[in-house]
Structure formats: C-alpha cells, structure tokens
C-alpha cells in the first residue's frame, strides 16, 4: 500500500483497495474522508464528483458503505472511494466543502438510508415527504407497505 | 375620484428590505412535470433560488432489488422517459460488464443507431417545449412532426413507442424487423433539412436572441463543481463527451464531432443541442450504411433467451428458457459503475451484485439531478422571466431526477 500516493500523503487513511473489471476503488477510513477528497481534488486532479450513494450490507457491521464516484476530466480517469459507517452511529463528514455537487447526493443518502452527514449545509429529506418515518433503501425496510396519504399540516 | 389609493411604497418602512418568496411550481407549465422552484425576490430580481424535488419519486432503486436482472430493464425505461433506450443501454452495459460477456457487432451498432435516434427524439422534445416556454409556439409543432417519425421507428423495432425495453442483457430483445433500413433511411435522409427548418425559425430570430443571449450564464468552474454535465458543460467550452472519452458499444468506430460553444448562456446551449442533432444524424447514417451482418444477441445461453424456433425443436433450449424465465441467471459478485452520454449528460448505473439472480443494489446517477443542482448559479441575480429560459435550458426530466 505504500506506493499509493494517498497513503503516503495521509498515513492511515487507505484501509484497502481493489480493482474489478478495470474499475479501481479505494477503501478509506471514514474519519479521514474529507481530507482524502480534498487531497484527490487538489493533487489528484479529480475535479468532479459524479455522485454519492450508499450500500446497506445488513446484517454485517459496519453496516453502511458510502460510495463516492470521483472523475478526473484532465486525466479521463474514474475512481471510487468507499467508507464504512456502523449502524449504531451512521455518521460521516460531508464533502460538500470539497465539491458542492455532493449536496443533493448526500441529502439523498440521508433520506433513503438515514446516514447523517456532519457539516452539511442543508441536511433535509429530498425525495420522501418531510414527515416520513424510516429509511426506504435500508435492507430491513419492506418493499410493500401501507399506502401513504398526505395530510394537511 | 376623491379618494386616492395610498401609495404602498410610501406607507411601508422604506429601509426594510421588501423581499418576497415565490413558489414556482410544482404545477407551473415551465416545470414540465412536478418541480418546485423557490425564488426569493427583490422586485423582479432573484436574490436566492432553490429547487424542491422528489414529487415524482417512485422508489425505482428499491424496486430493482426485488426484481431479476432481466426484469430490471423494463424499469430503466421509466427513469428518463424521454430517452428510454439510452437508459436500457446503460443498465445492460453495466450488467454485461459484471457478467463479462461479449456483444456481437451487429447488436452493438444497432444499439448505437437507436441510441442516436433516441438522442434526436429527446432533443426534439426539448427544443419544442423550450421554445414554447419562451413564446415560440410553432417550433413545437415542427419538432413533434419529426418525433412522431422516430416513435414509429421505435414501434417498428420493439412494438412500443416510448417504453421500448429493446436492449436486453446480451443484445437486443427481438430481431431487427424487415424493412427497417428503408424506414430509418427515409427519416435520416430528410432530417438534416428539417433541422434547417428549425434553425430558420430560431437561430437568427431577434426575439429568440433577445430572450436567450447572455441569459442563464454560469462560469464553467461553477458548473463542474455543481455536477453539471452534457450539452450544458459543452456550451461552457469544455470539450467532453463520454462517447469520445470513454467509448462504449463501439462508438469509437464512428466519425462525429463534439460541438462546443464558450458563451455558456441559453443561446449557446441551444446552438450545441441543434448541432448535436446534426451529429447524431451523421452517426445514424454511418450505422445504417455500415451495419455489420451477424448475430443480434450474444452467444451466452445461460443469460440470453433462446430463439423461439429452437425452443420448439431443441430440449436444451427449452431448459435454458425455463431456467432463465423462472430463476433468472446468477451474476458474479462485484460492482460496476457504467457511464454513458445521455442527451442530458453523464448517466451512470452503479450495479452491485452479491452473486445471486437479483441486483443487491442499483444506484442511478441521472444527469438531470446534477444539472438542476447548478440552476441557482444561473438564475441568482437575474430576472424572474429569465429563470424560465435558464430552467428550460437545463433540459431536465423529472423522472430522471426523482427516480
């Protein structure tokens, strides 16, 4: 792992890496995600964030895998970053300070998975109604259920 | 008229800022669906803008997890309903990459040809509705005339006008119909002159130019930072098209150009999209002339349904058909992020497999989602009337945003 420029710059940040079907991904310690993203943007030319999502690996712990899709226009290269957060305290720092594009994607992950993004400027539900209970994309959330009816205030 | 109405401006406290919050939508005609723009106004100037989305959320990503891989194709049509075939393609490419199967050349070229017809279709809907938003009624009628021809071609191929589901994992759903060359040829030979007609109506039209030039400007850096892609970023001067930079489905074999402009306003976006209509027509023409012979689906019997004829004569084909339809096929564990160039920009499907016949997770990165995020940068500090033009120029589809 020592050849990895991210590991050299931020020791202890990279906890694993993999390549599958020619697509590279790095596993990052969740405490250092913002630092790693800022480094990759400034020094790695990853000027774009294509999206942020999550995968629920219920019942394994740490349960939620937050996935960041990075894209370098200059080098025509893509990279995935993955962070694991536990179900007890599903929290991670927001990367909106690095790429403003993360704003809605993080809101979506918060809305559908219940992962809280610290320092997010506007962390509200984006897809579901504001008074919705539960997080639909979690694996323990049933696909079918009672019909939702909108209420006046 | 003995009693004059009191002058409101004088009676109120002049020092306090008179801001007003205006809800545009969810039912405003220019929102083409259900989008709510929240505008904070100072007179007619927008001081702060935001978008509320989610009115069309249907939980498609959740639905994927309950369906077999091949059943997922029909869901993809319903995401960005103006370019169903490109959604089909992106999903199929992602699953095919996980399965590691080879697609025969004819299927690849057919996919390119139909994708480009889809792009033309989508741009025509955009041009028609966008110009109607800005008061040019007749362009809409011209655009929908050609769109109808494309929908007839889609119907010929797949039996469906809009929800085509024509690309399947491993190739195409059906054998290309008899006489498709004539149908596509007739359309594509006439099409460039039709684009001239639209341009005659708009390109030098002084009203159109007044409504669009210099409107909705945003710097390229802002657009990239907010996740804007596609024709909008090309109208800001960035020569980036996924069909060229990360070619898929044999796009590298086609000769076309990436139109760019540098003005980064509504007019530049119009110019880029009109030029893309011509370039797409070029690609369709090349695909039509050079269409390779051969199979239209991959040689992967555990994934691709057998021919109907074989099912009636061969035991093995019948067994494969039964297995695929009832249980689906297993996809090796792993994950793939596949991107394609949709008419609106970068469309990505992230498919995670746990080795079973149903996707563990599908994340859909719709281009409209990023494009709408960039909207406040284009309208803040401008007039309300220009917000309509800027909003139209993002070419959003709410099915693509909300999923």
Q: CA of A39: how far to CAs of A44, A52, B105, in Å?
A: 7, 18, 42
Backbone dihedral region for residue A74 (phi beyond 0: left; psi -120 to 50: alpha; all else: beta) = alpha
Q: How far is CA B143 from CA A17, B148, B389, in A?
A: 49, 9, 18
- pLDDT > 70 fraction of chain A, expressed in percent and rounded: 92
Look at residue B14 in the predicted model and tell me its pLDDT: 55
Chain B partners within 8 Å of A38 (Cβ)? none
pLDDT of residue A12: 76
User: What is the reported pLDDT for B55?
Assistant: 85
Cβ of B225 and A104 within 8 Å?
A: no
Q: Identify the H or E element spanning B133.
A: helix B105-133
- Taking the Cβ of residue B346 and every Cβ of chain A, the question of whether any pair is shorter than 8 Å is answered with yes
Round to whole Å and give the CA distance between B399 and B57: 8
Q: What's the rounded Cα separation, in Å, for the pair B169 and B32?
A: 32
Q: Write out chain B residues lying below 8 Å of A80, CB-based.
A: 337
- How confident is residue A153, by pLDDT bands cut at 50, 70 and 90? low
- Chain A segment 53-82 residues within 8 A of B by beta carbon are 53, 55-56, 67, 69, 73, 76, 78, 80
B chain contacts of residue A128, beta-carbon cutoff 8 Å: 54, 57
- As a whole number, mean pLDDT of residues A56-76 equals 90
Task: Test A51 with B334 for CB contact under 8 angstroms.
Answer: no
pLDDT at res. B1 = 44
Chain A residue numbers with beta carbons less than 8 Å from the beta carbon of B240 are 73
Q: A138 CB near a chain B CB, below 8 Å?
A: no
CA-based nearest distance B2→chain A, Å: 45
Q: Which of B121, B244, B96 is nearest to B191 (CA)?
A: B121
Q: What is the pLDDT of residue A2?
A: 42
Question: Picking from A16-20, A117-121, B89-93, B283-287, which range would have the lowest pLDDT averaged per residue?
Answer: A16-20
| CB-CB neighbors (< 8 A) of B59 in chain A | 136
Look at strands A116-118 and A91-93 and give their pairing. Answer: parallel
What pTM did the predictor assign? 0.89
Is B234:B259 a contact under the CB 8 Å cutoff? yes
Q: How many C-alpha atoms does B328 have within 13 Å on its Cβ side? A: 15
Min Cα–Cα distance to chain B from A124, Å: 11
How many angstroms from the chain centroid is the CA of residue B13?
49
Please state at what angle helix B266-289 crosses helix B105-133, rounded to 10 degrees.
150
> Does the pLDDT of residue A144 top 80, yes or no?
no
Q: Strand pairing partners for B349?
A: B338, B364
Nearest Cα to Cα of residue B222 among B390, B381, B374: B374
Q: Binning pLDDT at 50, 70 and 90, where does residue A151 land?
A: low
Q: What are phi and psi of B94, to 5 degrees?
A: -65, -45
Q: What is the pLDDT of residue B282?
A: 92
Write the DSSP symbol of residue B383.
B
Candidates A74, A82, A101: best to mutate against B (most CBs of B within 10 A) is A101
Q: What is the residue whose two structure tokens read 């596993």?
A: A27
Fold classification of B60-402 is Cytochrome-c3 Hydrogenase; chain B (1.10.645)
* Confidence check: pLDDT of A146 > 80: no
With CB atoms and an 8 Å threshold, state whether A99 touches B227. yes
Q: Residue B159, preceding bond cis, omega within 30 degrees?
A: no
List of chain A residues whose C-beta atoms are within 8 Å of the C-beta of residue B402: 127
Output the CATH code of domain A5-118: 3.30.460.80
Confidence of residue A55 (pLDDT cuts 50, 70, 90): very high
Is residue B134 a contact partner of residue B197, using CB atoms and an 8 Å limit?
no
pLDDT at residue B348, as a whole number: 92
Q: Quick one: CA dihedral A121, A125, A131, A135, positive or negative? A: negative
> What contacts B323, CB < 8 A, 6 or more positions away?
B302, B329
Q: Are strands B45-52 and B36-42 parallel, antiparallel or unpaired?
A: antiparallel
Residues of B with CB below 8 A from A125's CB? Answer: 54
User: Does residue A32 sit in helix, strand or coil?
Assistant: helix
Is A51 in contact with B226 (Cβ distance < 8 A)?
Answer: no
From the candidates A22, A24, A48, which should be mutated to test the interface with B, based on the most B CB atoms within 10 A?
A: A48
Task: Give the SS3 label for residue B102.
Answer: coil
> Could A78 and B360 be called an inter-chain contact, meaning their C-beta atoms sit closer than 8 Å?
no
Residues 62 to 91 of B: which have CB under 8 A from any A CB? 62-63, 65-66
Q: For residue A126, what are the contacts with CB-CB under 8 A and spacing of at least 6?
A: A104, A107, A108, A110, A111, B53, B54
Residues 6+ apart with CB under 8 A from A22: none
What's the pLDDT score for residue A1?
A: 40
Chain A touched by B60 (CB under 8 Å): no
Instruction: Please provide the DSSP assignment of B283-310 as one string.
Output: HHHHHHHTPPPS-SB-S-TTTSPPPHHH
Which of B98, B337, B361 comes nearest A55 by C-beta? Answer: B361
Q: Which of B370, B368, B374, B366 is nearest to B216 (CA)?
A: B374
Nearest-CB residue to A101 (from B238, B246, B373):
B373
Please choose, from the candidates B394, B318, B330, B323, the residue with its C-alpha nearest in 3D space to the C-alpha of residue B358.
B330
State in Å, rounded, how far the first CA of chain A is from the last one.
55
Residues of chain A with Cβ-Cβ distance to B245 below 8 Å are: 76
Sequence spans of domains, chain B: 8-52, 60-402
Interchain pair B348, A127: CB under 8 A:
no
Q: Are A98 and A124 in contact (CB under 8 A)?
A: no
- Concatenate the DSSP letters of all residues of A80-135 into one string: EEEEEE-SSS-EEE--TTT-TTHHHHHHHHHHHH--EEET-TT---SSS-TT--S-
Q: Which regions of chain B are under pLDDT 70?
A: 1-17
* CA–CA dist B54, B34 (Å, integer): 8
Which chain B residues are Cβ-neighbours of A56 within 8 angstroms? 361
Query: Position of tokens 């999206």?
Result: A51
């Amino acid at each position: 792992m020592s050849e990895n420029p991210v590991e050299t710059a931020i020791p202890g940040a990279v906890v694993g890496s993999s390549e599958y079907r020619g697509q590279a991904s790095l596993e990052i310690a969740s405490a250092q995600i913002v630092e790693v993203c800022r480094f990759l943007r400034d020094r790695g030319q990853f000027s774009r964030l294509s999206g942020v999502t999550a995968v629920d690996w219920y019942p394994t712990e740490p349960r939620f895998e937050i996935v960041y899709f990075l894209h370098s226009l200059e080098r025509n290269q893509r990279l995935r970053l993955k962070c694991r957060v536990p179900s007890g305290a599903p929290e991670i720092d927001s990367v909106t300070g690095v790429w403003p594009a993360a704003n809605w994607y993080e809101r979506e992950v918060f809305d559908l998975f219940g992962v809280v993004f610290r320092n997010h400027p506007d962390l509200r539900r984006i897809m579901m109604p504001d008074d919705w209970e539960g997080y639909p994309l979690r694996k323990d959330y049933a696909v079918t259920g009672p019909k939702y009816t909108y209420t006046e205030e | 008229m003995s009693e004059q109405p009191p002058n409101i401006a004088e009676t109120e406290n002049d020092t306090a800022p008179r801001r007003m919050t205006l809800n545009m939508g969810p039912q405003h005609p220019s929102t083409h669906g259900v989008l709510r723009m929240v505008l904070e106004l100072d007179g007619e100037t927008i001081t702060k803008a935001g978008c509320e989305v989610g009115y069309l959320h249907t939980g498609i990503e959740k639905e994927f997890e309950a369906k077999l891989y091949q059943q997922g194709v029909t869901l993809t049509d319903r995401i960005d309903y103006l370019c169903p075939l490109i959604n089909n393609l992106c999903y199929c490419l992602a699953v095919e990459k996980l399965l590691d199967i080879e697609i025969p050349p004819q299927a690849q070229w057919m996919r390119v040809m139909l994708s480009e017809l889809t792009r033309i279709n989508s741009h025509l809907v955009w041009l028609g509705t966008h110009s109607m938003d800005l008061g040019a009624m007749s362009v809409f009628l011209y655009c929908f005339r050609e769109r109808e021809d494309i929908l007839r071609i889609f119907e010929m191929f797949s039996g469906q006008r809009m929800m085509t589901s024509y690309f399947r994992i491993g190739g195409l759903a059906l054998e290309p119909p008899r006489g498709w060359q004539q149908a596509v040829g007739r359309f594509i030979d006439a099409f460039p002159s039709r684009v001239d007609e639209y341009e005659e109506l708009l390109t030098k039209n002084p009203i159109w130019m007044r409504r669009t030039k210099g409107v909705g400007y945003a710097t390229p850096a802002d657009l990239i930072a907010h996740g804007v892609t596609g024709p909008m970023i090309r109208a800001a001067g960035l020569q980036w098209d996924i069909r060229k930079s990360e070619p898929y489905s044999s796009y590298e074999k086609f000769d076309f150009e990436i139109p760019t402009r540098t003005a980064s306003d509504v007019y530049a976006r119009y110019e880029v999209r009109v030029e893309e209509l011509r370039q797409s027509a070029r690609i369709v023409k090349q695909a039509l002339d050079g269409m390779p012979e051969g199979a239209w689906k991959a040689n992967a019997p555990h994934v691709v349904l057998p021919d109907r004829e074989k099912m009636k004569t061969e035991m093995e084909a019948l067994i494969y058909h039964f297995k695929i339809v009832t249980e689906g096929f297993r996809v090796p564990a792993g994950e793939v992020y596949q991107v394609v160039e949709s008419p609106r920009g970068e469309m990505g499907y992230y498919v995670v497999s746990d080795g079973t016949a149903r996707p563990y997770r599908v994340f859909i990165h719709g281009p409209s989602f990023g494009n709408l995020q960039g909207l406040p940068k284009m309208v803040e500090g401008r007039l309300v009337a220009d917000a309509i033009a800027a909003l139209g120029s993002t070419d959003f589809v709410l099915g693509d945003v909300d999923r």
